[in-house]
Amino acid sequence: MNEKLKSALIKRIRRLSSPMEPKPTGLAERLVPLPQLRAILFDVYGTLFISGTGDISIARATSNEQALTKSLQFSGFSGDLHNAGRRGTTYLLHSIQHTHEIRRQAGCQTPEVDIRQEWRNALTQLQQENMLQGNITTEAIMKVSVDYECRVNPIWTMPNVAETLRWLNEQPCILGIISNAQFYTKLLFPAFLHASYTESGFQPKVCAWSYEYLEAKPSVRLFHSVVTSLHDQYGIVPEETLYVGNDMLNDLYPASQLGLKTALFAGDQRSLRLREDDERCQHLAPDVIVTDLAHLSSVYTP
């Protein structure tokens, strides 16, 4: 992605975003010092950022016809945009489901997509049915992706996220990310924190984004790749690593399978997922429960 396009997409995210406050969960914090931590890994949606849907939108099959009509118009397309918006959301979801099925047949239990390819499929179908006019370029696809995501899944920073990251960057601690994500997830950092995710202190070699693996959490594969990098790059073992996430199944279950310490982030009712009906989580207990990211300072003990 060239810098001009990146700047335009970041500007669009800011333009379509407005402040949100987290909704209290009523869950009590459980804060205990975790000694000898050398790395902290984070989820993104529902942990570092408030998510209007509680997760990245495609994880919930979110669709909105009016939003797509506006996104197509913003991205330079013309034609019968009303019907394109109406049909396009269905085509997008069908494309995602088709890709998921292919990946499952290939042996992937938790398939992920690169949303840019799914949008290309949906837009091409709209064009073939004479509802859409315009060039389906990579730039246009990215614009549609970002504009639509912002409309169906509003995002804002969790309270104290910038302050917490600044504090952690002053500690002898390696920061990473393991997230169900798309290409635009990385743009949230400059859009809201005015610094890239790497400038915010996250080390690229210990970050795993689901769209790059075509596999989503709760797959252990994403976690395993980061655990391996932590060991190979820094000599850090799972027992010295804390994973912070809002979903007992997607976040804490795979982290615990690999021996990481876990923090359940219970800061927003929209995104807190206790998964009490899932047998994988029935006997799973986080090491700590945090309702404010700033309280990680009470947990982190180098």
Question: pLDDT for 69-113, tens place per residue?
Answer: 999 999 999 999 999 999 999 999 999 999 999 999 999 999 999
CATH number of the domain within which 44 lies = 3.40.50.1000
SS (H, E, C) 5-29: HHHHHHHHHHHCCCCCCCCCCCCCC
128 and 84 in a common domain? yes
Pair 157, 148: CB distance under 8 Å? no
Mapped onto helix, strand or coil, the DSSP state of residue 299 is coil
Parent domain of 118: 63-152
Structural domain total, the chain = 2
Beta bridge partners of 30: 289
φ, ψ of residue 218 in degrees (nearest 5): -90, 30
With left for phi above 0 and alpha for psi between -120 and 50, is residue 104 left, alpha or beta?
Answer: alpha
- Residue 153: how many CB atoms within 10 A of its CB? 21
Residue type, 15: R
Residues 291, 172 share a domain = yes
* The pair of three-digit structure tokens given for residue 144, joined into one six-digit string: 């549609």
Of 165 and 60, the one with more pLDDT: 165
Residue 89's closest CA among 134, 57, 47?
Answer: 57
Q: In this structure, are 158 and 148 located in the same domain?
A: no
The pair of structure tokens assigned to 50 is: 């408030």
Q: 């992937």: which residue's tokens?
A: 108
- C-alpha–C-alpha distance, residues 286 and 191, integer Å: 31
Domain contains 182: yes
The pTM (predicted TM-score) of the whole model is 0.95
Lookup result for tokens 């246009």: 140
Residue that terminates a domain, selected from 122, 152, 182:
152
Are the C-beta atoms of 145 and 183 separated by less than 8 Å? yes
β-pair partners for 261:
242
**Residues 191, 285 within the same domain:** yes
In SS3 terms, 223-243 reads as HHHHHHHHHHHHCCCHHHEEE
20 & 159 share domain: yes
Q: Which pLDDT value is given to residue 121?
A: 98
Whether residue 146 is found in the same domain as residue 188: no
Residues 33 and 171 in one domain: yes
Domain co-membership, 162 together with 39: yes
Q: Residue 161 falls within a domain, yes or no?
A: yes
Same domain, 167 and 244: yes
28 and 126 belong to one structural domain? no
Structure tokens at 280: 């994988």
Tell whether 275 is covered by a domain. yes
Rounded to the nearest 5 percent, the helix, strand and coil shares of the chain are: 45, 15, 35
262 in the same domain as 186? yes
User: Which residues contact residue 17 at a Cβ distance below 8 angstroms, ignoring those fewer than 6 apart?
Assistant: 150, 154, 155, 156, 191, 192
Indicate if 163 and 132 belong to the same structural domain: no
Q: Is the pLDDT of residue 261 over 60?
A: yes
Strand-pair category, 34-35 with 78-79: unpaired
pLDDT digits (tens, 9 = 90+) for 207-237: 999 999 999 999 999 999 999 999 999 999 9
Distance CA 203, CA 225 (A): 13
User: Is 37 a residue whose pLDDT tops 80?
Assistant: yes
Whether pLDDT at 61 is above 70: no
Q: Which of 110, 131, 152 is the last residue of a domain?
A: 152
Domain boundary pick from 135, 152, 169: 152
Residue 58 lies in a domain: no
